[in-house]
Structure 1
């Protein structure tokens, strides 16, 4: 099976959105990303960098629950880690601003 290649994030993002069609999967991504931001904020505000260890646990934990439990697909981050990370934050912003429904 030929693996898809993307020449830019712009060509990757439609694929990324297609992998996140289930509303619960998108919601879980949103929750996980919000918890990542809160962990970073706690680390900055308290000076306790131990909060940062929770950021990937929260971010990936909620996202993978969405993929394996609801979307029934393999997270794109396994094949396209940088583009997927970028896609997470673009999708997060678009959900926050109402461009993508929860």
Structure 2
């Protein structure tokens, strides 16, 4: 599937969420991002600079396989890297605030309006 193009982040956001339509994909993202953030923070605080790679390596290393294996799609990062990073942060904030059900609704609406593509 070719990724659509967007003029604004606000237009991109529902697409990003739709690419994470399955709860398992979102939760793998959450776990990978928070684990990577913890490892990177440890590296920053301990002076062990190689651990700063924790966020991108662990974050993407868990998220990308989730797309291929659970969601059966390509990560939005491939076509929209900056907006995807922002979307990941927004998605995780919503999940941590107990709003995962809203993400499922946004995804379902976008997929229905775009024939599931």
TM-score, with length taken from structure 2: 0.80
Does the CA-based 8 Å contact 1:28-1:65 persist in structure 2?
A: no
Aligned to 2:61: 61
Q: Could you list the runs of 5+ residues in structure 2 that have no partner in the other structure? A: 104-117
Q: Deviations over 1:49-87 (max 9, x none)?
A: 110122211010110121011000011100111111111
Q: Does 1:95 align with 2:102?
A: no
Q: How many residues align?
A: 102
TM-superposed CA distance for 1:2, in Å, is: 7.0
Which stretch has the larger CA shift, 5-14 or 70-79?
5-14
Aligned CA distance change for structure 1 residues 22 and 4 (closer, same or farther; 3 Å)? same
Hey, what does 1:75 align to over in structure 2?
75
* 2:86 paired residue number: 86
Q: C-alpha distance in 1, partners of 2:100/2:56?
A: 24
Query: CA separation in 2, counterparts of 1:54 and 1:19?
Result: 24
Stretches of structure 1 lacking an aligned partner (at least 5 in a row)? none
The equivalent of 1:52 in structure 2 is: 52
Q: CA 1:81 to 1:95, structure 2 compared with 1: closer, same or farther past 3 Å?
A: same
Runs of 4+ with >6 A deviation: none
CA-CA distance at 1:4 after TM superposition: 1.8
